[in-house]
Chain A
């Protein structure tokens, strides 16, 4: 690039002329094009996401209250595969007319790094959290070629009294339990999915950041096929890869910690007092993209006037995850 040096904040376009047309020592012409939506700066960066395996289970019960008890228990302690084994969440509420057994329910999505991990987590979570919940039943929520055992393994709890029923080409297991029968489809579908889509909301203070992420989560919950696995959909302890301590595979994302602004190579300016992250797992790249767009639009709708300063994203330099979600591309047409 000759000897020209340019520092760019935000996106830029370089006009490169053929070498024959350039005079020695020519300086490139740089066009600086920052992206702002309602006064909120959108960083020229990308979220880096990974390939995962995912499944959906429909959990029903006598009423919505008990279906949610089961669904929430089954998706508990599933914020990150780093330590939980799976990432999971309630995708949406199901009306009685939308479920196989005509009872209200909830759709849950589970993600893991491998089909083996997913199968193990599924069996544990449905066995311990759904089968144990009064009046519950569990059905496959994905129709795909690859299958994971659902009732196939749990049926043995019936100790020989379990009953198989082949209905409409699908096998179900009726496991006798103390409130009647636990009805469970034999298998559920498994698909290749995307985990780790994310964006960061950088705000004036915690109140403004919370308002932003709450608005985002409310908008993102309307998008199908995605979950935001952290508490309330939001994570405040974003991480970087590695640590100074041996054995730690992840540690605090110090570049985005406002209290370290003056101590480390910080990504935060003096106007940022709080950063919160939303992590998205989706059944496809398009689902994650749609969810990120909905969330970022909701944050930007609050605008700078409500203390939202910037939106950024977490990545590892693009070398680890095969999915890159460029914030400005996603928000194109919104500015």
Chain B
């Protein structure tokens, strides 16, 4: 049985390190020696993988990164398959433009996690920073597929310009959650901050708790039974998330907006079973 390919961080780098080469699809077919000779961008210079990490194991389809600090960025970027497990916290852009496979962060992620993600599963056991599932600065579309599970809280602008996919947050979400959202689904078990759904065009935000305030540019459409929620919650039942434990709410309050933006997005507020 092949052992996972383990990268154990030797020291805390001074600058941020681009770890995007350390994904299964890029490492496939390479020996441990060849992997150790790969170059990583660190600030304005390059360093060797073997210099920053101690390597063990050989299965490049199952990568483990044992890290500390928040300097390791772009972990799992453009990944297409296999798995990456991060033992500890990681920096920004985790799962950037990810297309498949699974990233499991047994800690927190920095800003822009799941940024422009297209597919696959990103699990975050602790908190996620700002702009989770958002677009890169200057880009017009954020996350466009896949699933993000967050056990902790997320920062501001979660799902900013999000186009497709789903983000399930077991904790709280910061301000401007679902701002400029184009489509997709965000579910939050805890509270959400101010300006929920600002300039939202389409998409769904599911809330279990009453938000502090609903923007005045959203219209209350009343309480309804929505059949698609059964399908949604059934699809979630296999996920490693607390959302899997819940049945679909029998009725939800449907609040539509952002009408100031001619938006047809919806905030669905659970009213119990």
Contact = CB atoms under 8 A, between A and B. Distances in A.
Interface of A: 100-103, 137, 160-161, 163-168, 172, 174, 180-181, 183
Nearest to A160: B264
Given A100-B231, A180-B225, 5 more contacts: A165-B204, A181-B226, A181-B227, A183-B228, A183-B231
Given A166-B164, A167-B235, A161 B228 contact: no
A137 to B, nearest CB: 5
B227 A137 contact: yes
Contact of A172 (B202, B224, B228): B228
Contacts of A180: 224-227
Contacts of B164: 166
B231 A174 contact: no
A160 B202 CA distance: 11
Contacts of A101: 227-228, 230-231
Contacts of A160: 264
B75 interface: no
B209 interface: no
Given A101-B231, A180-B225, A181-B227, A161 B185 contact: no
Closest 10 pairs between A and B when the two form their complex, measured CB to CB:
A168-B235, A183-B227, A101-B230, A101-B227, A167-B231, A102-B230, A167-B235, A183-B228, A137-B227, A165-B228
Interface string B162-205: 00100000000000000000010100000000000000001010
7 contacts: A164-B183, A165-B231, A167-B235, A180-B225, A180-B226, A181-B224, A181-B226
Nearest to B226: A181
B232 interface: yes
Interface centre among B230, B232, B264 (most CB of A within 10 A): B230
Interface residue range, chain B? 10 to 19
Nearest to A182: B227
A224 B225 CA distance: 32
B199 to A, nearest CB: 18
Contacts of A161: 264
Nearest to B264: A161
Contacts of B230: 100-102
Interface string B219-244: 00000111110111011000000000
Contact of B264 (A163, A166, A167): A163
B248 to A, nearest CB: 8
Interface centre among B185, B226, B228, B235 (most CB of A within 10 A): B228
Contact of A174 (B183, B225, B228, B234): B228
Contacts of A102: 230, 234
Contacts of A181: 224, 226-228
A161 B264 CA distance: 7
A11 B200 CA distance: 75
A109 B202 CA distance: 35
A163 B202 contact: yes
A127 to B, nearest CB: 18
B23 to A, nearest CB: 23
A178 to B, nearest CB: 12
Contacts of A168: 231, 234-235
Contacts of A165: 185, 204, 228, 231-232
A175 B183 CA distance: 16
A167 B164 CA distance: 11
Contacts of B183: 164
Contacts of A137: 227
Contacts of A100: 230-231, 234
A161 B204 CA distance: 14
Contacts of A174: 226, 228
Contacts of B264: 160-161, 163
Contacts of B204: 163, 165
Nearest to A173: B228
A102 to B, nearest CB: 5
B194 to A, nearest CB: 26
A226 B235 CA distance: 30
Nearest to B185: A165
A174 B224 CA distance: 13
A111 to B, nearest CB: 28
A181 B256 CA distance: 15
Nearest to A60: B227
Nearest to A99: B230
Interface in B65-94: none
A172 B226 contact: no
Contacts of B232: 165, 167
A169 B164 CA distance: 12
Interface in B246-273: 264, 266
Nearest to A168: B235
A196 B164 CA distance: 45
